[in-house]
A and B are shown apart, each in its own frame.
Chain A
Amino acid sequence: MKPKIDVDYVSTLAHLQLTEREKADFVPKLIKIVEWVGKLEELQSVDSGIEGFHSVPFSLPFRPDEIRGSFPAESALANAPERKKDFILVPKVIEEK
């Protein structure tokens, strides 16, 4: 299977912008990688009722449902690139018409 990558669409999904130069460099490399991972096509048996993998082959312990302390607002906000009082500042989310 010759992979087709619509790199503009994928980079929009990933919130990344590529310059023309980057595209010229990235796209062939990406296609090469995707072709290479296409090797998995050879493994026909993977479609016959095998489940996806779960990384934890043991039962997961639950923690007691107790209220615990959390970060004070000040330390949670300390790394904010822009802030106003106890809020993080971002550009307007809802745009006016």
Chain B
Amino acid sequence: MTTKTLAQALRLPLAQLQTSPRPQAVPLAVATAARQSLPAATFSAQDYSLYYGDFLALERISLDIPARQITAIIGPSGCGKTSFLRSLNRMNDLIKGVRTEGSILLDGQDILLPGTDVVALRRRVGMVFQRPNPFPMTIRENVSYGPRKLGEHNRARLDEIVERSLRQAALWDEVKDLLDRPAMALSGGQQQRLCIARALAVQPEVLLMDEPASALDPVATLKIEELMRDLAHDYTIVVVTHNMQQAARVSDYTAFFLSGDDRTGRLVEFGRTKEVFTKPHDRRTEDYITGRFG
């Protein structure tokens, strides 16, 4: 084992779980306070390229994602936004023939190295999907699923986690009396917030959101956006969105991806959302955000 992978192994969050009591073991108020002291997770992609077989899907993306901010990734369909997002928790590994170049650093450590514990990585980097995908179980079981699989079986502590996560996801008041009802009975917007609660229950440091509101109506969308603003106090959030107004409303930083005739996605512009939307440096960014294409 090289020194680098050893160092990596020592920093595994699962090991952290065992050595230091994570907030889930302490009362709610303390937990929220403890939350703030957790390390802020940052991503840094460096010359990152992604291939599906022979097809170059993303070319030399270099991008720094700051901690406890919302970074939006925008761009037309097929520009590689989602591919990039799914690179951050190695979800692309599930696809056959995926190959990468360059590096993606999470708090300084390259998550693309062969020795990386992908399971531990995904515990630190939670994900919310485009379509609400609650498990066919009760609401309570949905939220407690992650902690249970990570080894928490104490009934009282699980109940605490369920309540805290649902409160964080602004869903508690709506479902506190329905915890043992099937999750499928909830509305689409509620299901999506349940999925957010489920992701929060394992105490990730980063939340990846893949068009989290695209399947929802405007009111539910607004709720999700408010929720994202709240969560950004504690979590690093990366959100892929089709919706430019949403990116402008909700994000602190914006990355604009674009693919040419070769269908290979490239990063065109990255900066503070305010600047990207008011004074874009690149002509193509300006054309896109003013609705000239896409």
Do A and B associate with each other? no
Taking beta carbons and an 8 Å cutoff, which residues of B are in contact with A?
none
